[in-house]
């Protein structure tokens, strides 16, 4: 067993860990897995260079004065966006931003785990791909949990017990993310919870998807610290979010969400013909899992 020792994370292995049993056990038990050193320094530098080159979009005025949602600016096929303002800027559809982001689609450090956990019966698709930059006081509120009846918040097939993870979030740290940097937080094991987190119940026992309260201070949350190049995989079913950033400066991360091929992508960006042309057949199948059909000549 070559689980990293000395880590404060419950669920952590080195890149290239060949102990598939351990990898599966940790992911099943805790609902997340950190792969240390998953992405090489050159790729991390290239992605950071892209962020640096587009830093002026952090200024709202540069995005046409829109602060929120998907009404931001377009950089080719990449669109600026935010979920709630507090969560910072998302460069959505980042797979269109160059080769390094294409390599990420089926990166050998995690792709076979993701295929296995979603289950080969379900194929694979990308639900959302983004590069996120978040400044001081930014955060994501506590959200999700096993109590939400959402089609992609599955983890096991109830009848057979086989893997059937409806969504796996893959966060790549573009720089070190430690205490005060607004790390991702989650409650280990909460993907199996049937009782909602106390912050996710409403009036008369109703169940809510998301609270506006920063996830970091919620009961049971753990902050997950990453070094640049580490990757955090977690089922979207797990109760999670991020701590508020208490330091100056910005947190940078890349987020790719994988789902079964049957699930539509979140914002339905049409892949550019140039991207489809460039992709290997394996990547193309993930980016365009069910190509549109039209009659000849249409």
Ligand X SMILES: O=C(O)CCC(=O)C(=O)O
Binding-site ranges for ligand X (CB under 6 A) = 140, 169, 171, 184, 236, 240-242, 255
Q: Compute the least distance from the CB of residue 184 to ligand X, in Å.
A: 3
3-state secondary structure of 96: helix
Q: Which residue carries 């931001």 as its tokens?
A: 72
Q: What is the C-alpha separation between 219 and 183, in angstroms, rounded?
A: 16
Q: Which is nearer to ligand X, 251 or 285 (CB)?
A: 251
Q: Compute the least distance from the CB of residue 118 to ligand X, in Å.
A: 16
**Is residue 92 a contact partner of residue 78, using CB atoms and an 8 Å limit?**
yes
Q: Which is nearer to ligand X, 6 or 149 (CB)?
A: 149
Q: Which is nearer to ligand X, 244 or 279 (CB)?
A: 244
Angle 165-31-109 from CA coordinates, rounded to 5°? 75
Q: Which is nearer to ligand X, 240 or 285 (CB)?
A: 240
Q: Which is nearer to ligand X, 251 or 283 (CB)?
A: 251
Starting at the edge strand found earlier in the chain, the sheet holding 184-186 runs 210-214, 140-143, 240-242, 184-186, 222-223
Q: Which is nearer to ligand X, 122 or 169 (CB)?
A: 169
Partners of 254 in beta bridges: 131, 172
Q: What is the C-alpha separation between 78 and 34, in angstroms, rounded?
A: 27
Nearest Cα to 238, choosing from 288, 185, 282, 285? 185
Count of beta carbons in the 10 Å neighbourhood of residue 36 = 19
**Is residue 96 a contact partner of residue 275, using CB atoms and an 8 Å limit?**
yes
């Amino acid at each position: 067993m070559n689980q990293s020792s000395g880590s404060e994370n419950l669920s952590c292995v080195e890149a290239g860990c060949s102990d598939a049993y351990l990898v599966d056990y940790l992911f099943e038990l805790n609902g997340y897995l950190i792969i240390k050193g998953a992405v090489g320094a050159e790729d991390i530098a290239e992605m950071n260079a892209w962020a640096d080159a587009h830093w002026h979009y952090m200024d709202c005025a540069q995005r046409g004065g829109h602060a929120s949602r998907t009404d931001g600016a377009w950089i080719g096929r990449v669109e600026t966006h935010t979920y709630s303002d507090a969560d910072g800027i998302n460069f959505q559809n980042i797979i269109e931003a160059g080769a390094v982001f294409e390599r990420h689609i089926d990166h050998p450090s995690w792709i076979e785990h993701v295929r296995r956990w979603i289950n080969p019966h379900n194929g694979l698709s990308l639900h959302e791909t983004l590069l996120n930059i978040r400044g001081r006081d930014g955060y994501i509120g506590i959200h999700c949990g096993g109590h939400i009846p959402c089609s992609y918040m599955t983890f096991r097939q109830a009848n057979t017990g086989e893997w059937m993870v409806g969504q796996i979030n893959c966060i790549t740290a573009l720089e070190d993310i430690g205490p005060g940097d607004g790390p991702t937080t989650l409650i280990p094991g909460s993907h199996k919870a049937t009782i909602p987190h106390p912050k996710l119940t409403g009036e008369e026992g109703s169940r809510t998807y998301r609270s506006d309260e920063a996830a970091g201070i919620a009961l049971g949350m753990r902050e997950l610290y990453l070094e640049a190049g580490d990757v955090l995989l977690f089922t979207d079913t797990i109760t999670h979010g991020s701590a508020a950033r208490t330091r100056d400066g910005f947190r940078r991360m890349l987020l790719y969400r994988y789902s079964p091929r049957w699930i539509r992508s979140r914002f339905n960006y049409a892949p550019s013909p140039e991207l489809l042309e460039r992709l290997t057949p394996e990547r193309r199948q993930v980016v365009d899992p069910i190509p549109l059909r039209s009659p000849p000549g249409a």
